[in-house]
Amino acid sequence: MNKNKEILKTNHLSWPLDLPWFFLQRKFLGRKLPLLASFKVTYRCNLTCRACPFHLRADREEAHMSWDTAIGTLDSLRRLGAR
Protein backbone atom coordinates (compact mmCIF):
# COMPACT_ATOMS: atom_id res chain seq x y z
CA MET A 1 0.00 0.00 0.00
CA ASN A 2 2.91 2.39 0.65
CA LYS A 3 3.99 2.10 -2.99
CA ASN A 4 0.51 3.18 -4.07
CA LYS A 5 0.66 6.23 -1.80
CA GLU A 6 4.05 7.13 -3.24
CA ILE A 7 2.67 6.94 -6.78
CA LEU A 8 -0.26 9.17 -5.87
CA LYS A 9 2.04 11.75 -4.22
CA THR A 10 4.54 11.97 -7.10
CA ASN A 11 6.12 15.41 -7.27
CA HIS A 12 5.32 17.46 -10.34
CA LEU A 13 5.25 21.06 -11.44
CA SER A 14 2.24 23.17 -10.57
CA TRP A 15 -0.30 23.48 -13.40
CA PRO A 16 0.73 27.01 -14.53
CA LEU A 17 4.31 25.75 -15.02
CA ASP A 18 3.44 22.24 -16.19
CA LEU A 19 1.42 23.33 -19.24
CA PRO A 20 4.20 25.49 -20.77
CA TRP A 21 6.68 22.66 -20.06
CA PHE A 22 4.34 20.27 -21.88
CA PHE A 23 4.20 22.49 -24.98
CA LEU A 24 7.97 23.06 -24.90
CA GLN A 25 8.61 19.32 -24.90
CA ARG A 26 6.03 18.68 -27.61
CA LYS A 27 6.93 21.52 -29.99
CA PHE A 28 10.67 21.94 -29.61
CA LEU A 29 11.84 18.57 -28.33
CA GLY A 30 9.48 16.56 -30.53
CA ARG A 31 8.14 14.37 -27.71
CA LYS A 32 4.72 12.91 -28.38
CA LEU A 33 3.00 13.46 -25.06
CA PRO A 34 -0.68 13.09 -24.25
CA LEU A 35 -2.17 16.36 -23.01
CA LEU A 36 -5.14 14.68 -21.35
CA ALA A 37 -5.95 11.08 -20.58
CA SER A 38 -8.88 9.32 -18.98
CA PHE A 39 -9.92 5.78 -18.24
CA LYS A 40 -12.90 4.13 -16.64
CA VAL A 41 -12.31 2.41 -13.32
CA THR A 42 -15.68 0.68 -13.50
CA TYR A 43 -18.58 0.17 -15.87
CA ARG A 44 -20.89 -0.74 -13.01
CA CYS A 45 -23.69 1.79 -13.01
CA ASN A 46 -27.28 1.52 -11.85
CA LEU A 47 -28.52 4.22 -14.22
CA THR A 48 -29.84 3.50 -17.70
CA CYS A 49 -29.08 6.70 -19.58
CA ARG A 50 -29.89 6.45 -23.30
CA ALA A 51 -26.64 8.14 -24.36
CA CYS A 52 -24.39 5.96 -22.21
CA PRO A 53 -23.74 2.23 -22.78
CA PHE A 54 -22.05 1.57 -19.41
CA HIS A 55 -25.10 -0.01 -17.78
CA LEU A 56 -25.09 -2.63 -20.56
CA ARG A 57 -21.62 -3.77 -19.48
CA ALA A 58 -22.25 -3.88 -15.72
CA ASP A 59 -22.63 -7.69 -15.53
CA ARG A 60 -19.45 -8.50 -17.44
CA GLU A 61 -16.46 -9.86 -15.57
CA GLU A 62 -14.20 -7.09 -16.92
CA ALA A 63 -16.63 -4.39 -15.76
CA HIS A 64 -14.46 -3.46 -12.79
CA MET A 65 -10.74 -2.59 -12.60
CA SER A 66 -8.66 -3.78 -9.65
CA TRP A 67 -6.83 -1.29 -7.43
CA ASP A 68 -3.43 -2.49 -8.66
CA THR A 69 -4.48 -2.20 -12.30
CA ALA A 70 -5.84 1.32 -11.75
CA ILE A 71 -2.65 2.47 -9.98
CA GLY A 72 -0.50 0.81 -12.66
CA THR A 73 -2.48 2.56 -15.39
CA LEU A 74 -2.16 5.93 -13.67
CA ASP A 75 1.57 5.35 -13.26
CA SER A 76 1.92 4.49 -16.96
CA LEU A 77 -0.02 7.59 -18.01
CA ARG A 78 2.16 9.68 -15.72
CA ARG A 79 5.35 8.27 -17.26
CA LEU A 80 3.95 9.09 -20.72
CA GLY A 81 3.54 12.70 -19.65
CA ALA A 82 -0.18 12.89 -18.92
CA ARG A 83 -1.15 15.09 -16.01
pLDDT tens string 22-58: 777 778 777 776 766 777 788 777 787 888 777 777 7
**pLDDT single digits (tens) 52-82:** 777 777 777 777 788 898 899 888 888 877 7
pLDDT at 68: 92
Number of domains comprising the chain: 1
C-alpha to C-alpha distances, 54 to 38, 57, 67, 69, nearest whole angstrom: 15, 5, 20, 19
pLDDT at 1: 53
Angle at 75 between CA 21 and CA 70, to 5 degrees: 135
Host domain of residue 45: 2-7+14-27+36-80
pLDDT at 41: 80
Confidence of residue 3 (pLDDT cuts 50, 70, 90): low
